[in-house]
Amino acid sequence: MTWCGGGQQHGENTGRRHALGRVLMLACGVLLAGPIAVGAQSFRLALTNTPSPILLGSNITYRLSVSNATGFNLNPGVITSDYNRNAEFVWAAGPFGFTNIAGRVVFAIPANSFPAGGVIDVALQLRGTNVGRLTNTFTVAIDDQGQTTPASTNVVSSIELPPEADLGVALVGLTDGVFPGDTITYQLVATNGGPQPATEVVVSNLFLAHVSLVSLSPSDRLQLTNGFVVFSVGSLTNQQSDTASLTVLATTAAPTNLTWAVIRAPAVTDTNPANNAVTSNVPILAPVLGQVVVTNLSTQQFNPQTGWMEQQVLLENVSTAGVDSVRLLVDGLTNRLVNVTGTNGALPYVAHGAALAPAERVELVLEYANPTRTAGADPILTAYGTPPLDLTPASGSRVMVERVAVIHHPSVTINNGRILLEWPVTDGAAYQVIYDEQVDFRAARGSRPTVTAPAGANRVQWLDYGPPRTLSTPSKAPARFYQVIQVP
């Protein structure tokens, strides 16, 4: 704590000196921002810590305590703050009010309000508007015909440009083929392309309409408030990213259903604001029933190669319009369907990714888990057309396929002509089979769904039996080449 000031004024006219009491003087020099206190026999000024440097456009708050150390009550006066053109007024607070004009704030000290030993606290907040030095001079003056000399102190802070960073935001996982009852999981991805770190990073996401919230992750940094999901990212260093996931349930159809996300960080200069916002339309479609019909082609049969019960069904487009892909919902064996693409409400479904022209047919294989290995009652099947499925191959590291074989089994007729793949796995890891009719994989597609290695497994087997796993049966292709990708 630094003290500065004068003391008792002495002169030859002792009578005048006694009549006026002590004439007190206090003069303080320039002080850098930090814990500051000045004082003498008349006033003591204590200024709380003020940060330096501050970032351009950010706020700086001053809190000043003025103590009456004269030993007697003081007449009315003022506390004045004078600051230079590098800042603008934000707010002020004092017990007796204040006035504000450009570059100056005056706090009132009314009569009979500053007794001996009394303390007056004032506060002031400014915003840095220009790079450079911000000088703020506080002065205490009493209207007592010169019996006291004003006390003052300067506080100097540096205003600097924020660090430069390239913030970006993306919405990942939103699709076009959403129907009421579907569960959607998508990600908010925040990035910083650098070169400098960013702090206090926040992503705001307009919550989708026509959906209900299922879950937020990580729950401690996401909050749904007033129609917005707020992702408190925190700090992002150079080239760092952070991801949050939202799961929602589609409730009603809506052909137009917009959402957007914006990233911001108040303490940085963004060198590329073009990627600070992203918008997406997530239409929720009403299913068109009766366009695609389903017929059972076989009873449920046990396949010793896979351990599942299998059943063949036929999809047929009976309308005059084509469909881009087909969704087949299974009701009745909902807890046993193995080759699930997704769920709609309480019903699982498989999806065939190829288009069906009017009158076109395709056979699908359904797989069921049944420990008794006996045929059960047929499920209730419903099919309708959907927008094109995204069959883009997954990105990840390639896995060596150790075995490729054409399978023929005399006791299971539906197994004949299938292609078996076998590869080593990591316990719990996910894999996708990539296939193409060209050896260079120029038009490679990803199979559906991905394969998750069972607990304790060191290898898995996968059968290409055609739809819905792949777009067509292997026997109808002149050749088929495969790769296996471990999904990150």
Q: Which amino acid is at 14?
A: T
Range with the lowest mean pLDDT among 45-49, 196-200, 295-299, 440-444? 45-49
- Residues 198 and 152 both lie in one domain: no
What does the pLDDT read at residue 410?
Answer: 54
CA 454 to chain centre: 32
Look at 415 and 360; give whichever has higher pLDDT.
360
Asked if residue 325 and residue 273 are part of one domain, the reply reads no
Residue 131 located in a structural domain: yes
- Environment class of 323 (CB within 10 Å of its CB; exposed 0-12, middle 13-18, buried 19+): buried
Alpha-carbon distance of 418 to 414, in angstroms, equals 9
Q: Which of 9-13, 236-240, 374-378 has the lowest average pLDDT?
A: 9-13
Pick the closest to residue 203 from 254, 243, 161 (CA basis): 243
Position 31 pLDDT exceeds 50: no
Question: In terms of domains, do 431 and 370 share one?
Answer: no
Q: Same domain, yes or no, for 229 and 140?
A: no
pLDDT tops 60 at residue 35: no
Domain for residue 286, yes or no? no
Q: Are residues 357 and 419 in the same domain?
A: no
Q: Is residue 378 part of a domain?
A: yes
d(CA 382, CA 339): 16
Instruction: Indicate whether 7 belongs to any domain.
Output: no
Residues 250/362/446/245 CA torsion (nearest 10 deg): 10
Between 26 and 86, the more confident residue is 86
For residues 297 and 268, state if they share a domain: no
Exposure on the CB side of residue 423, measured as CA atoms within 13 A: 22
Region 284-301: what's the mean pLDDT? 94
Establish if 197 belongs to a structural domain: yes
Distances (CA, A) of 178 to 160, 345, 364, 457: 49, 12, 22, 34
Same domain, 118 and 63: yes
pLDDT at 264: 96
Q: 111, 136, 160: which is the final residue of a domain?
A: 160
181 burial type by CB count under 10 A (0-12 exposed, 13-18 middle, 19+ buried): middle
Distance CA 74, CA 94 (A): 18
Report whether pLDDT(51) > 90. no
Q: Which two tokens stand for residue 181?
A: 């009852």
Q: Specify the pLDDT at position 210.
A: 96
According to DSSP, residue 471 is labeled S
Indicate the range of 191-195, 362-366, 412-416, 430-434 predicted with least confidence.
412-416
More confident residue, 334 or 6: 334
Q: Residue 224 belongs to what domain range?
A: 164-281
Judged by average pLDDT, the poorest of 214-218, 290-294, 472-476 is: 472-476
Examine the domain organization and report whether 30 and 137 are in the same domain: yes
Write the pLDDT tens digit of every residue in 145-190.
878 888 998 899 999 888 899 999 999 999 888 999 999 999 999 9
Domain boundary among 228, 247, 281: 281
What local confidence, expressed as pLDDT, does residue 417 receive? 80
The answer to whether residue 307 sits within a structural domain is yes
Return the CATH number at 334: 2.60.40.290
pLDDT tens digits for range 409-447: 555 555 568 899 999 999 889 999 999 999 999 999 999
Strand, helix or coil at 14? helix
Task: Label the pairing between strands 361-368 and 397-399.
Answer: unpaired
Separation of alpha carbons 407 and 67, rounded Å: 95
| pLDDT band, residue 139 (cuts 50/70/90) | very high
| Coil vs helix vs strand at 273 | helix
Residues 218 and 301 in one domain: no
Same domain, residue pair 168 and 155: no
Within a 13 Å sphere around the CA of 174, how many CA atoms are in the beta-carbon half? Answer: 22
CB 308 within 8 A of CB 368: yes
Start-to-end C-alpha separation, the chain: 58
Could you tell me the CATH number of the domain that includes residue 187? Answer: 2.60.40.1510
pTM score of the predicted model: 0.68
Residue 22 lies in a domain: yes
> 331-353: per-residue pLDDT in tens?
998 889 999 999 999 899 999 99
CA distance linking residue 27 with residue 96, whole number of Å: 25
Percent of the residues in the chain that have a pLDDT greater than 90, as a whole number: 68
Which pair of structure tokens corresponds to residue 193? 């392309």
- Domain end position, chosen among 246, 281, 316: 281
Q: Based on the structure, what is the number of domains in the chain?
A: 4
pLDDT in tens, 106-123: 999 999 999 999 999 999
- How far is residue 122's CA from residue 414's CA, in Å, rounded to a whole number? 86
Same domain, 76 and 102: yes
Q: How confident is the model at residue 385 (pLDDT cuts 50, 70, 90)?
A: very high
Domain-embedded: residue 249: yes
**Measured distance CA(262)–CA(182) in Å, rounded:** 26
Q: How confident is the model at residue 251 (pLDDT cuts 50, 70, 90)?
A: very high
Same-domain status, 20 and 154: yes
What tens digit of pLDDT does each residue of 309-328 get?
999 999 999 999 999 999 99
